[in-house]
Chains A and B, each alone.
Chain A
Amino acid sequence: MALGKVYVGGLPDDATSKEVEDAFYKFGRIYKIAGESCQGLLTGLVTAEEERLEITNCFATARSEPVLDDESAQPTNNQNEEVKQQEMLDMLRKFRNMNIDYELVGFYQVHPFGACFNQDLVDSLNEYQTSFKDGVVLIYDPVKTRQGQLSLKAYRLSVAALDLCAKGDWSPEAVKAVSLTYETMFEELPITIKNSRLTNVMIAELALAPGKVPEKTAAHLELGTKRSLEKCVRTMMSNIDEMNKSIGAFTKYTSEKQRHDANIFNMTQKREVENEQRKQRGEPPISFDDIKRLKGPTLQTKNGMLESFLASADTEALAEFCTKVTGENIAKLFLAEAIAIDKRDTKDRSTSSVSGR
């Protein structure tokens, strides 16, 4: 019996794999139940005349098993990783078979608060963008969406960043040379959502029939954003810690660099004077090679400036989320207040009207 993938939709949110197994065991032995992950591959086409990338479909990859921190779980982790790799390959092979692998234009990921900037993302983007020039990543923010605003963002690495990625050199000098900042490292692309005609028809119909819209749609008026905010602030804090570290390293680097430069300068001058004397004496000058060969200090972080960039970008995203949410909350408070007053007023009016009668 051939291995086959069966996609099951419409499961309740809290369905466990046990329940799924119970429901489906009659169809045959179940090898593995992989929950859907919010990440996967995107396929689409580049439309040259309109200068845009049209993403037409997405394929979810299997959810990765949670990585256990325990030392003893290392083999399990490795195994999980392997299985995942295999599934990915499997999927790509199937793409090949269907002859749509040329349509691969990127991948999508889910990140709460849209704080998606990490090393993995950069690596993957780099990979995609080198093989396919217009590769993008779509970031979906479930938190914001749950609060009533669909949040989708498309990013890709800027040319300069891609260049640095290819070289793998994130030293301060290299970064400065291409004048890259955390803001220009990623390019955010505007997104236009286009529904299919069928969907459009449905939406239009829904709009025309108000009774059919479910009652509970006012998610965007929810005031209880405390938990998400809390989480956001926590993440921000860890990012800031990271940045603190990077800055510390950078400070050290600059001071060392200064010292080094001064040192080189002194030595060069000395050598020049010496060479001048030698020239007068008719001896051949000593070359500057040994001075040039002196090694400058290196930034004591794993990936040079990249880390601080990522932390900065993340923090920015988080801060943006915070400000938006708090700003909206204030608006909502005003709204709620107004409604409350209004309600009281109407109540008053009604009572007065009653009394009036």
Chain B
Amino acid sequence: MSRFFREGDSDSDASTDSSSSDDEREVLPTTRGVIRRDFAYPSDDEVEEKRVVKAHKDRKYEELKMLIRKTRNARNVKDFSALYDHFEELCKGFEKMKPILRRQNLPIPRFYVRYLVELEDFVQETWKDKDAKKTLSKVNQNGLNRLHQRVKKHAEGHTEPSLDLLAAVKEFRENPDPVGYESPEEEEKPEDEAPGAESGDEDEAPKPKAKAQKDVDSDSDEWSSDTDSTTSESSIDLGEQQMEELRKYFLKKEFRDDLPDEKKKKKEKRDDKQRRKKISIVSEDEEEEGWTEVGKKDEKVVLFPPKTEITIELFIEKFNEIMAVRGRKTTNRKQHVRTLQELYNIAEEKKFGGGVLVKVLFSIVSALFELSVSISDSMDFQTWHKALAAIINLTDLLIESGVHLSIGITEEDENLTDPEKPYKVNGSILLSIQRLDTELTKILQNADCHSTDYIDKLKGEKDLCGLIDKVHSFVDERLDSGLFEKAEICKIYMLRIDHLYYKYADTIELPNGVTAHALMEKLCKQIYALDDEKRLRQRAMLCHVYFLALHDEWHRARDLMLMSHLQAIVDHSDVSTQILYNRTICQLGLCAFRHGFIREAHQGLSEIQNTQRAKELLAQGIAMRQHDRTVEQEKLERSRQVPYHMHINVELMECVYLICSMLLEIPHMASHEFELRKRLLSRSFHYQLKQNEKSSLVGPPENTREHVVAASRAMLAGDWKKCRDFIVNEKMNGKVWNLFRNSDTVKKMVIQRIQEESLRTYLLMYSTVYTTVSLTKLAALFELEEKHVHSIISKMIISEELSATLDEPTGCVMMHRVEPSRLQLLALHLTDKLHQLAEQNEQVIEPRGAGGRGYNGPGTWFSNRGGDRGDDKKKQQFQGGRGGDQRGKGNVWGGGSSRGGHQQGRRGGHEGGRPRN
């Protein structure tokens, strides 16, 4: 695009194409200055004036053009009523604009005049065309009539000396624009009313001018401030018409032919020019002062009047001025960043000292963060990197210069200039880093976690860790300086922990001598000591537990978990902490499993796994329930998602959970075979088992779940080898076992547990078949040591699971037969059912509150349920051999009579089907 046109634009059209204007600055100033003088701008306080002009006049122009466009549309469809309305509006707009024009001594805008003329012609034409008129609808005819009068009047109505519309129209009619010519309204054609830089009476005149112009444009290496003076001299007072003339000229020739060519060149040279620009800023003559305005408006890179001595005061003034527009709607954010960058460069060049540098750099960081509009959208990764670089820069600067950057320092207390005293700047690098961290999380959340793109972005995390590390040591060194607030310090520790806790120690790079464990412990302890609000303390503790669990320090992890009493309070904490808690107990469960603590592992995992929405609870996936959720809620949930690299493998977890369930549940099932109402340890496991039972054709297992279920079936049949083969095989190796670091020991442990539990199951299931079994036989059958078998059986006898005695001399187990009769079992069952009924009945009378129902919160964790109570149950069953029947009845009657009466009193007893006699 020709620079020539740009110049004109800045006058009439605010929306200029800034990208192409870089190179043209040098030429423009003169013309610019001339025109300015013509229009008698007040030359003082240029910045202010400039703003007003731009805002008012250009906005008005825009408005008018907008209206004109509308009327054109209306005219095309011959909608006269609409046309009339628009015209009215237009007149009003013009009315409003008049004072501005008058104040600024502007002529009537050419496009307006042209429009008026066109409209008048059009109306006249239609007016005369009687046939056409007849075809119009009534409304439209009406509109036409009114328009006809109005148009005439309008021109006549404005005959003030300065703004003689009639004269303008007349003049225009004498020198009309070419037919079909329309004032360009888009930014692509900003040549509208371009003020020529010369007298436009003769056609020959502009040609060389333009040529010269072009040369300057395309040949930017050659260009210097000298060329301008030649053009500027010839410029004289220009009327609108000449401008139009000129514009026509360019429209036809230059635009069509030369532009593409020129553009290409420009692209090539843009970088170069930009570099040169900087230099030119400084080296510009003082007399050219005016042009800097243009630069500043189009692009804020040019900051200071050239050749002025940039003092620190001036600099700060400028800086404040720039910062004043921060956050305004009209401020181009990118531009803002660029400007600040420029300022920084200048400050660096001039060696204004650390204070200013820090201040500016800090502003750059904030500005970079402000680039993305909404808080929920993630930042652009490039921008993020820029921000990261800026913060690293800032950190280095802080470390080097010892500038005090603190939120404790108010804006008034800032000391940017005085090198005697320590520099003080308001701000917090820690908060910026935190922001950076959240932005990275957002970026990762929005990235496709299976692409290489994700990995690329993940590399940012490493840099961030480095930065956090650096800042951490920086903060540590200045702990006593009072620069940082407690909360801030906690935050940096927390950030450190956040980036540490989910990683294996050997993958973490640390400075010599420090182990990850020691670091973690130190950080956590510092947070325990410093944090006042408990939230961070909770989080730190959870992270610590997670970290310990990850590194197989089961006992420490468990103790810490239990000491924290988090189970009780986590319900009252915020969602992200709850998610962390869920993650932690899962990790703890996995850790317990690796150590062979099956029951603990089961308890840990069942809280998450039993709910059917493990992914949701771990924030590793969004639930599919679209309904009953608003968009905001979903957004919120999305924002809570854990980035992919921190995920806990859900499939692994499920498999571990199922294996735990199998090891616990199968013997349990075997011993409670006759009970109709089963006490389920894990519902989802039973569900899987039942599904498997239901399916008509059981094929070989495919996924881990099916493997475990198949193994469970084998175990229930007492076939431990088959069970083992289902659990430990190639497929499972790939999917589960290889995911453990110490997979061999884990596998060994699992196999041993399988042997033991299979033995137990076998004894429970088939005790009726035997009268005596020799221990040797059992040991051989399950490939266990005899001693081990002995201990297992002894345990079972003690816990009264198995009614048998060990015969020491012969090494045999002798079975006793005390199973309850069928009737007794049934009676027991009936008791259960009646108990249930009684409970339900009670509910009718006294509806249970919402609190008592269902999930009792994670507080029940590790409450050692299951085991003891299960044994109780068994005792009852086995001891109750004879008495069971009676007891059952007793319950029936006791419960019946008391409750039945109660209920009759209330509800007429219509559902009291309690057997009474």
Contacts and interface: CB of A to CB of B under 8 A. Distances in A.
Given A241-B833, A254-B847, A255-B847, A179 B917 contact: no
A308 B889 contact: no
Given A254-B847, A308-B913, A326-B889, A176 B908 contact: yes
Interface string B859-892: 0000000000000000000000000000001001
Interface string B898-917: 00000010011111111111
A247 B889 CA distance: 22
A239 B911 CA distance: 12
B909 to A, nearest CB: 5
Interface string A313-325: 1011011101100
Given A244-B836, A244-B837, A254-B847, A182 B910 contact: yes
B822 A230 contact: yes
Contact of A312 (B826, B834, B843, B912): B912
B844 interface: yes
A264 interface: no
B830 interface: yes
Interface string A229-248: 11001101101110110111
Contact of A243 (B827, B907, B911): B911
A240 B895 CA distance: 14
A243 B908 contact: no
Given A239-B913, A326-B889, A229 B823 contact: yes
A240 B834 contact: yes
A308 B823 contact: no
Given A176-B910, A181-B910, A319-B917, A240 B823 contact: no
A251 B910 contact: no
A311 B847 contact: no
Which residue of B841, B844, B889, B915 has the most chain A CB atoms within 10 A of its CB atom? Answer: B915
Interface string A159-187: 00000000000001001100111110000
A236 B913 contact: no
Nearest to B848: A251
Contact of A233 (B826, B847, B916): B826
**Secondary structure at chain A's binding surface: helix, strand, loop or mixed?**
helix
Chain B interface residue number, banded? 20 to 34
A244 B910 contact: no
Which residue of A226, A313, A319 has the most chain B CB atoms within 10 A of its CB atom? Answer: A319
B383 interface: no
Contacts of B904: 181
Contacts of A140: none
Interface in A260-283: none
A251 B837 contact: no
B829 interface: yes
B765 to A, nearest CB: 24
A243 B913 contact: yes
A311 B833 CA distance: 14
A312 B830 contact: no
Interface in B819-841: 821-823, 826-827, 829-830, 833-834, 836-837, 840-841
Contacts of B847: 251, 254-255
B391 to A, nearest CB: 56
A250 interface: yes
A305 interface: yes
A236 B830 CA distance: 8
A315 B915 CA distance: 6
A107 interface: no
A9 B696 CA distance: 48
A225 to B, nearest CB: 10
Contacts of B827: 233
B837 A240 contact: yes
Contacts of B907: 176
Interface in A314-350: 315-316, 318-320, 322-323, 326
Contact of B911 (A229, A234, A237, A308): A308
A319 B911 contact: no
A248 B914 CA distance: 15
Contact of A246 (B830, B833, B911): B911
Contacts of B908: 175-176, 179-181
A108 interface: no
Contacts of A237: 826, 829-830, 833
A250 B913 contact: no
Contacts of B843: 247, 251
B858 to A, nearest CB: 27
A128 interface: no
Interface residues of A, number: 41
A28 to B, nearest CB: 48
Interface in A23-44: none
Interface string B805-831: 000000000000000011100110110
A247 B915 contact: no
B37 to A, nearest CB: 72
A319 B889 CA distance: 10
Contacts of A234: 826
Nearest to A320: B917
A183 B912 CA distance: 10
B828 to A, nearest CB: 10
A282 B167 CA distance: 67
B911 A305 contact: yes
A9 B773 CA distance: 58
A139 B505 CA distance: 80
Contacts of B829: 237
Contact of B830 (A175, A240, A311, A326): A240
Contacts of A319: 892, 915-917
Contacts of B916: 316, 319
A248 B915 contact: no
Contact of B840 (A230, A236, A244): A244
Contacts of A313: 913
Nearest to B913: A312
Contacts of A311: 913
Contacts of B840: 244, 247-248, 251
Contacts of A175: 908, 910
B136 to A, nearest CB: 49
B829 to A, nearest CB: 6
Contacts of A181: 904, 908-910, 912
A326 B836 CA distance: 24
Contacts of A315: 913-915
Given A251-B843, A308-B910, A316 B823 contact: no
B822 A250 contact: no
B837 A323 contact: no
Nearest to A255: B847
B907 to A, nearest CB: 8
B830 A233 contact: yes
B24 to A, nearest CB: 72
A309 B833 contact: no
A229 to B, nearest CB: 6
A229 B847 CA distance: 35
Contacts of B913: 182, 239-240, 243, 308, 311-313, 315-316
Contacts of A226: 821, 823
B885 to A, nearest CB: 9
Contact of B910 (A236, A239, A309, A316): A309
Interface of A: 172, 175-176, 179-183, 226, 229-230, 233-234, 236-237, 239-241, 243-244, 246-248, 250-251, 254-255, 305, 308-309, 311-313, 315-316, 318-320, 322-323, 326
Given A243-B913, A315-B913, 18 more contacts: A176-B908, A180-B910, A181-B904, A182-B909, A182-B910, A182-B912, A226-B821, A226-B823, A236-B915, A239-B913, A247-B837, A247-B911, A250-B911, A251-B847, A312-B911, A312-B913, A315-B914, A319-B916
17 contacts: A172-B910, A179-B908, A183-B909, A240-B830, A240-B833, A244-B833, A246-B911, A247-B911, A254-B847, A305-B911, A308-B910, A309-B911, A316-B915, A320-B915, A320-B917, A322-B889, A322-B915
The 7 tightest CB contacts between A and B, nearest first, are A312-B913, A319-B915, A247-B840, A233-B826, A308-B911, A240-B833, A243-B913
